[in-house]
A and B are shown apart, each in its own frame.
Chain A
């Protein structure tokens, strides 16, 4: 099972991972092998089987609408790579929104 290098590059961008040319080559190789390996599952007929996302049968876990202590701003920002004492700072995001 061989993945195309450009498809792997697209996945890297989806995953926001910077890969050098060499890394992209290695990754393409390795992913191809792994995807080939996991494709073993195709042997099984699962057409009548429902997916199992949770191993538990738990349902309806709720909490009450009661305020709990929040962090202080200092605590919230304590590990921020860049901040101005009030907000996190990131490189400018001009005129775009995140989700469509």
Chain B
């Protein structure tokens, strides 16, 4: 069997048993990357040399009878928002082009310690801001199911990479849906753990109170395998949870009888594509047949999720991205067009409407103006505005209050049900360019996912069907804090009863 046809669980077992070497496995995936990524653009950096060296070292240790980590030989692609010491970390931005951090993210360190093979860094929306991976400074990612369509974002590269079997698992990050939505549009499984379950140290921050790292793979079982390694308390992340990490892989096989799944009528508003609706309804039916009961519940403040998110996230981002100023690292504009005194002579190409008080201020403004893309600038501007004197109460403080109402909705709902089910995206994968003209239209792709981050709870998405046009339809389960075992086993049960998750895109065999 080709490694690309195996699950992560199977790959790890095969390597441990000696049925396959780590080098063979890594080679197989590297070959696929070489053949396919030209048309998909899922990777910003493929580390052929480093990956093979790691794989060879693992093979040598296995031969010598030395103990190996739980992910030994498993190729993993890492979203370029996580710091890797040996590979550039760009967040798909010109601001950090070529930037090499002197340290690994906690997640990356744990993966390495588990003997995973890091094969490269995946493309993303710049600084994790976007829902289609069209905001990358290094070109958009194409959806492997239809190269004219977007894979979703911001972890579009990670999603496409798994969907095209260029790696069995990938690491993504999710601030308002950036794991779950692309997983849904690409037909794979993606988990956003409870806030604080996985350390954020080394994840380039977008919105600190919302960001969370998570696994993306073909199945819940594969996600569980990776989550076991990357979850856990990190004393160097103040927001990291101290709760023990369960053996997620051991907790998968349990029947669903008695499981109560909530269904939110509000989700089924006009904007919901009928084929998505059909897939979602069928998914509920599968859960019912498996012994779960479905209950209608309310999330009364659901409609305020997107505006709340699009205040809190940009406000935090405007501060988190202030460090990108060209002073200590990252892009610095070439000196020279001069500040107030010279520019008063008036020959400015580009017609700058700003005058700069000093060369330093000019350096800041031009470095950031050149280094950041449009969406990033928009959000920085929005966040700066909403935090500024006179507006704080009406916008940021207000949003924090609505956040508490949204969280309370979840706490109330989870008194009645164990999980909440529903769509992850209102439409299947949309065409590239379809939403880029209207920022608000793009923001609304996060409709079903932002509340999970606002409430700090966990969510998972997985395929539940296909449109007539052959595009994946995704289903989302959300659970209370630390309900990862439940989310994973419910999904795993679904994936034993269906085979949507095993489908591969034909277009790029």
Binding site for B on A (CB under 8 A): 3, 8-9, 11-22, 24, 27, 30-31, 33-35, 37-42, 44, 46, 49-56, 58, 61, 63, 71, 75-76, 78-82, 88, 90-93, 96
Contact = CB atoms under 8 A, between A and B. Distances in A.
Contacts of A58: 196, 238-239, 241
Contact of A56 (B352, B402, B456): B456
Nearest to B398: A41
Interface string B389-411: 00000110111111111010000
B359 interface: yes
Interface in B435-449: 439-440, 443
A27 B455 CA distance: 30
Contacts of B372: 17
A51 B394 CA distance: 12
Contacts of B369: 17-19
B325 interface: yes
Given A15-B318, A44-B304, A58-B196, A22 B401 contact: no
Contacts of B4: none
B363 A17 contact: no
A22 to B, nearest CB: 7
A61 B199 CA distance: 14
B381 interface: yes
A37 B438 CA distance: 13
B310 A34 contact: yes
B403 A16 contact: no
A91 B353 contact: no
A52 B310 contact: no
Given A38-B311, A78-B100, A79-B330, A49 B380 contact: no
19 contacts: A3-B385, A16-B361, A18-B366, A20-B350, A21-B351, A27-B378, A31-B385, A35-B382, A39-B307, A40-B304, A44-B301, A44-B401, A54-B239, A55-B209, A61-B238, A61-B240, A78-B102, A79-B99, A92-B359
Given A15-B318, A55-B209, A78-B102, A37 B310 contact: yes
B381 A31 contact: yes
Interface of B: 99-100, 102, 195-196, 209-210, 235-236, 238-241, 301, 303-304, 307-308, 310-311, 318, 322, 325-332, 335, 350-354, 358-366, 368-370, 372, 377-378, 380-382, 384-386, 388, 394-395, 397-405, 407, 439-440, 443, 453-456
Contact of A92 (B209, B236, B360, B364): B360
Contact of A41 (B362, B366, B399, B404): B399
B241 A91 contact: no
Contacts of B440: 33-34, 37
Nearest to A75: B102
A91 B362 CA distance: 9
Given A16-B364, A55-B454, A71-B102, A9 B354 contact: yes
A55 B384 contact: no
Given A3-B385, A13-B365, 11 more contacts: A15-B380, A16-B361, A17-B368, A18-B352, A18-B365, A18-B368, A40-B303, A58-B238, A79-B329, A88-B327, A93-B360
Contacts of A90: 327, 360, 363
Task: Determine which residue in A9, A19, A24 has the highest number of CB atoms from chain B within 10 A of its CB, and name it.
Answer: A19
B368 A55 contact: no
Contacts of A49: 401-402, 404-405
B384 A52 contact: no
Contacts of B240: 61
A91 B382 contact: no
Contacts of B307: 37-41
Closest 10 CB pairs of A and B: A55-B456, A51-B400, A18-B369, A79-B329, A91-B359, A81-B332, A52-B404, A46-B401, A18-B365, A61-B238
Nearest to A38: B307
Nearest to B439: A30
A80 B195 contact: no
B382 A31 contact: yes
A38 B195 CA distance: 24
B126 to A, nearest CB: 15
Contacts of A53: 209, 400
B195 A55 contact: yes
A56 B353 contact: no
Contact of B381 (A27, A46, A76): A27
Contacts of B304: 40-41, 44
A92 B339 CA distance: 13
A2 B311 CA distance: 17
A14 B388 CA distance: 9
A81 B210 CA distance: 31
Contacts of B381: 8, 11-12, 15, 17, 27, 31
A17 B383 CA distance: 13
Nearest to A6: B353
Contacts of A13: 354, 365
A19 B354 contact: yes
Contact of A46 (B235, B354, B402, B453): B402
A33 B350 CA distance: 25
Contact of B401 (A21, A50, A75): A50
